[in-house]
Amino acid sequence: PTKLRVSQALSGAELGSNIKVQGWVRSVRAQKANVFLHVNDGSSLQSLQVIASSELNDPLLTFGSAVEVTGILKKSPHQKQPVELDAKQINVVGECNPVDFPFKIKERHGLEYIRQFPHLRCRTNAFSSLLRIRSEATAAIHSYFKDNGFVEINTPIITSNDCEGAGELFQVEPSGPDHADGENFFSVPAYLTVSGQLHLEVVSGAFSKAYTFGPTFRAENSQSRRHLAEFYMVEAEISFTQSLEDLTKDTVDAMLKNSFPVITYREAIDILRRSSERFAFPTDWGCDLKTEHEKYLVKHCGNIPVFVTDYPYDLKPFYARDNQDHPERTAAAVDLLVPGVGELCGGSLREERLNLLSARLEEAGLEDVYSWYLDLRRFGSVPHGGFGLGFERYLQCILGVDNIKDVIPFPRFSHSCLL
Ligand code: 4AD
Ligand code: MG
């Protein structure tokens, strides 16, 4: 027999041939004379219908068991599926006890239930479909950046800088008998990266357009529906750009297939203060926008994504560009807020002026740590900016998935690092 994947068999190319498929049983239905199976090997969303005489039936042919089926591929008399496999031989490769298997045939398990089984949940239709879309979206993002002239850069996972300065770092230390004396492996404190931005700025100073798409880590003690300790971020950095609008709009609008309203932080504060809603957190100028505020602003704008720009200077990290021409002290920073998720994307123009940047770093006592970053402003500095988009939040947003833990294969969050 010719070994085929289910997708190949379904394409009908081998009609009339003796074939063999391998996969997992998605359904079993026994009638007097025949037994009907659906077999799926993950090569297609669809399963292959198998029909066998009841002598081939086996009590081990249960939902979830792994099988190898040999038979003749035929045109199906039913309209629902193009082909069926007329089985001559069925081997159960791996049994699956239906009493112990957490997923039951014909039951629609919710994402919350299946999340309890991180090692088994990709056996369900619901979760495997999410992972398939995640894979497609990853490919689409890479091709967007390639098509638009960006160079992909692998920024380091271990780093000595705290880009965001928010203090949500995981420190990296060696372990094992060779390191028992508490040596400092890198000679400086080292951390898992919270953002590849600063490294991207290094390379955008040569390539003009650079991006990275990799894991980032934050020790956030949050049990929320939208925070992970390990998440993927799409980050882009563009040289010779002078407007926030140019910076994010093209990419984000392309990824969300639309264009969206832009309001300033000042306007956002005014909207919040005018509303009759009772917020738990203050809405004074200078306050951080909390989840409740983000939700309200999105609703206010008609339940569509909205860009908020020009945040108070003191709310933003040292790299954000000072909007010196504004009456209130603001930085050229932008967040994109989206329905159901809140902040999807954060970006800014970067302070490219050496005097302003070094003054700010000195104020924070960071001028030595970031002397290399100041060099970027000493040698061929140009107006530039970039942004980071949380990939899991993006998936949550486009798929309407309530909990971020359901759009990543192996979620890590506080008090949970399973598998
Ligand atoms: O707004 P953030 O902190 O921005 C930066 O790190 C910039 N240095 C990026 C840049 O300009 N290159 O993070 C960017 C995005 C957020 O808008 C959010 O979507 C996502 O990363 N994010 C998280 N996603 C899941 N879990 C968390 N704990 C997240 N923290 C941030
Ligand atoms: Mg942010």
pLDDT at residue 249, rounded to an integer:
76
Distance 166 CA to ligand 2 centre (A): 10
Distance 20 CA to ligand 1 centre (A): 47
Q: Which of 152, 255, 144, 154 is nearest to 211 (CA)?
A: 152
Ligand 1 atom 28, closest CA: 227
d(CA 45, CA 36): 18
Write down the residue that tokens 């996972």 correspond to: 157
Which residue among 223, 288, 343, 401 has the greatest number of ligand 1 atoms within 8 angstroms of its CB, and so is best to mutate?
343
pLDDT at residue 80, rounded to an integer:
81
Domain chopping of the chain, boundaries: 2-101, 121-406
Which residue among 393, 397, 398, 408 has the greatest number of ligand 1 atoms within 8 angstroms of its CB, and so is best to mutate?
393
Pocket residues for ligand 1 (CB within 6 Å)?
Answer: 163-164, 195, 197, 218, 220, 227-228, 231, 233, 235, 343-347, 386-388, 390, 392-393
pLDDT at residue 222, rounded to an integer:
81
Which residue among 233, 238, 401 has the greatest number of ligand 1 atoms within 8 angstroms of its CB, and so is best to mutate?
233
Ligand 1 atom 27, closest CA: 227
pLDDT at residue 43, rounded to an integer:
95
Structure tokens at 387: 């942004």
pLDDT at residue 413, rounded to an integer:
96
Assess: ipTM above 0.95.
yes
As its CATH architecture, domain 2-101 has Beta Barrel (2.40)
19, exposed or middle or buried, with CB in 10 Å at 0-12, 13-18, 19+? Answer: buried
pLDDT tens by residue, 193-222 = 999 999 999 999 999 999 999 999 999 988
* Atom number, ligand 1, closest to the C-alpha of residue 235: 12
As its CATH architecture, domain 121-406 has 2-Layer Sandwich (3.30)
Which contacts (CB < 8 Å, 24+ apart) does range 282-289 have? 285/312, 285/328, 286/312, 286/314, 286/315, 288/315, 289/265, 289/335
* Atom number, ligand 1, closest to the C-alpha of residue 166: 3
End-to-end CA gap in the chain: 38
pLDDT at residue 394, rounded to an integer:
95
Mean pLDDT, 10 residues at a time, over the chain (419 residues)?
Answer: 96 94 96 95 95 95 97 90 95 97 91 96 94 95 94 98 90 89 88 98 97 97 92 97 80 82 96 96 96 96 95 97 92 95 96 97 94 98 97 96 97 94
Question: Within the chain, how many helices (H) and strands (E) appear?
Answer: 10, 16
